Amino acid sequence: MQQNRSQVTERDGLFELEAGSDVLDSPRYNHDMAPTKVRERTWNKWHITALWVGMSVCVPTYTLGGVLTAYFGLTVGEALMAILLANVIVLIPLTLNAFPGTKYGIPFPVLLRSSFGVLGSNVPCLIRALVACGWFGIQTMFGGLAIHLFLGSVFEGWKSLGGTGEVIGFMIFWSLNLWVVIRGAESIKWLETLSAPLLVAVGIGLLVWAMPNMSMTELLAIPPKRPEGASVVSYFAAGLTAMVGFWATLSLNIPDFSRYAKSQKDQILGQIFGLPLTMFLFASLGVVMTAASVKLVGVTVSDPVSLIGHIQSPVWVAVAMALIIIATLSTNTAANIVSPTNDFQNIAPKVINRTKAVLLTGFVGLALMAHELLKKLGLIVSDVSLETVYSNWLLGYSSLLGPIAGIMVVDYFLIKKQQLNLAGLYRDDVYPAWNWAGFTAFGVPVVLTLLSLGSDAFSWFYSYGWFTGSALGGVIYYGLCSMRSSPSVVKSSV
């Protein structure tokens, strides 16, 4: 017989929900969005480390050093330092926002119901989802190119397809990504655990190939592309903000993964082991490989897929492309599909299940890449490059997402004091439909960021957008919640 009221139990600091009819019949609940049972939390620190290795070893990480030297005017040494420091900094919101996911087993959209309201949570969710769908499209473009080059190394006639072959590769890779995520979290865990050692081996192999063809001393001595005598501080800070923005998205939806962690210790250690050093080493590899590419293949090549495509041996190209396909797949499934899948379900959990949400994510990503695909098919001509879109996003979207990260941390640790009404997050009678404190704290930094674009005096507010946004958003939210007695605070008990 089905119980009427939901029950919450605790095991070693982990809470789980025995859903009653009050939750099961709620329009805010479905099986995929439900809190994970304690027995389902099977990811240890090494699984989480592998998750971060799998997400960090990808084409965009490889090109970060080039982005910082070309677009932000840093030297190679300054660029690598900015990447390392940024990933140490981003560990703070990543680890803090992972706490409620591990403790309560809830995904990102459900956690947002506490700070933005049960219905209001859809606004920041959709902002996050749109960014993820864009990245999904970009990564799928890289994966599709790798499949095209792989098939070209195996079947000589495939090369003659040109752009059409790349589009076919895109669609194959697109389908493969959706298939993995539809199969569920265990399939993602398996993929990340399998791919992590392979990706480390690829990095070592590429480094051995490149090192005899370049000089680290000469590389570090290359002068920066900024005005002579200009202070490094402003350039470094802007580059640092952009690098923090690289994982700004995951600092929000990390509960989507930490809900499967065995303990808080596992999620903390897994993230510390897996993120900063992997990002630093693979970005360093990108700098080294780009510098060595002139001697290796005769031209400067800034992405590994194209560089390996210049190798004359079809066998080595096939092997390398297969590994790059695995690398891009492990990044794309975890970083860019899981979040929007949960975000889209949050709109109407009874109508949109995981399979439908995965397909919706795929079609939005496909639509966002339609321009680039039509270019490859020769149906349109355009000067807009994928690299330009990618580099401009790094700074822009971090400014939007910073306030959300600050609000989430303040809400859980300072306002709710790590106590959430687990069943109430799935009903309409505990937390407000719209929490205007959250929207005010989000809106003010965003408006100031937009206004700063037209002001030389306040351009720093945009340049350091993630830091200014997260700090201001958190402070405003704390102030607004402290000034009023919120029903959601009073009822926030497990």
Residue 125 lies in a domain: yes
Tokens of residue 43, six digits: 């990811």
For residue 286, name the pLDDT band (cuts at 50, 70, 90): confident
Among residues 434, 453, 446, the alpha carbon closest in space to that of 473 is found at 446
Can you tell me the distance from the alpha carbon of 477 to that of 411, in angstroms, rounded to the nearest whole number? Answer: 8
95 within domain boundaries: yes
Alpha-carbon distance 126 to 352, whole Å? 14
Confidence (pLDDT) at 233: 85
Helices (H), 183-335: 185-210, 216-220, 232-246, 248-253, 255-258, 264-274, 276-297, 304-309, 314-332
**Residue 359's pLDDT is what?**
95
The pLDDT, as a whole number, for residue 492 is 45
CA distance 358 to 222: 45
Does residue 403 fall inside a structural domain? no
Residue 379, pLDDT above cutoff 90: no
The pTM (predicted TM-score) of the whole model is 0.87
Name the pairing type of β-strands 7-11 and 14-18: antiparallel
Predicted pLDDT at 2: 56
* pLDDT value of residue 485: 57
Report if residue 490 sits inside a domain: no
Which residue segment(s) compose the domain that 371 sits in?
42-385
Q: What number is the average pLDDT over the span 401-429?
A: 95
- Total of domains in the chain: 1
The backbone torsions φ and ψ at residue 155, rounded to the nearest 5 degrees and listed phi first, read -120, 110
- The pLDDT, as a whole number, for residue 320 is 77
**Does residue 179 lie within any of the structural domains?**
yes
> Exposed e or buried b for every residue in 235-249, given b needs 16+ CB within 10 A?
bbbbbbbbbbbbbbb
Euclidean distance between CA atoms 478 and 474, whole angstroms? 6
Cα gap 415→150, rounded to integer Å? 53
Residue 58 is encoded by which pair of tokens? 């990808």
Q: For all residues of the chain together, what is the average pLDDT? A: 86
Q: What CATH number is given to the structural domain containing 225?
A: 1.10.4160.10
pLDDT in tens, 33-79: 999 999 999 999 999 999 998 888 877 788 888 778 877 888 888 88
- Residue with more model confidence, 247 or 414: 414
Res. 237: pLDDT tops 80:
yes
Listed in sequence order, the residues at least 6 apart from 145 whose beta carbon sits closer than 8 Å to its beta carbon are: 166, 169, 305, 306
Mean pLDDT of 463-473: 85
In a domain, 493, yes or no: no
C-beta separation of 207 from 50 below 8 A: no
Q: What is the pLDDT of residue 37?
A: 95
Res 269: pLDDT: 97
Is position 466 within any domain? no
What is the arithmetic mean of pLDDT over 185-196? 79
**Per-residue pLDDT, 121:** 97
Residue among 62, 95, 134, 104 nearest 327 (CA): 62
Residue 159: inside a domain, yes or no? yes
State the pLDDT confidence band at 387, using cuts at 50, 70 and 90: low
Q: What's the average model confidence in pLDDT over 112-123?
A: 97
Q: How many CB atoms lie within 10 A of CB 475?
A: 15
d(CA 370, CA 376): 10
Q: Give Cα separations from 50 to 190, 199, 436 (angstroms).
A: 10, 10, 38
Q: With residue 18 as reference, give the H or E element that holds it.
A: strand 14-18
Q: What is the pLDDT of residues 70-116, one digit of tens each?
A: 778 888 888 889 999 999 999 999 999 999 999 999 999 999 999 99
DSSP-derived 3-state class of residue 36: coil
Q: What is the pLDDT of residues 296-345, one digit of tens each?
A: 777 777 777 777 777 777 887 788 788 788 878 888 888 889 999 999 99
Q: What are residue 16's DSSP bridge partners? A: 9
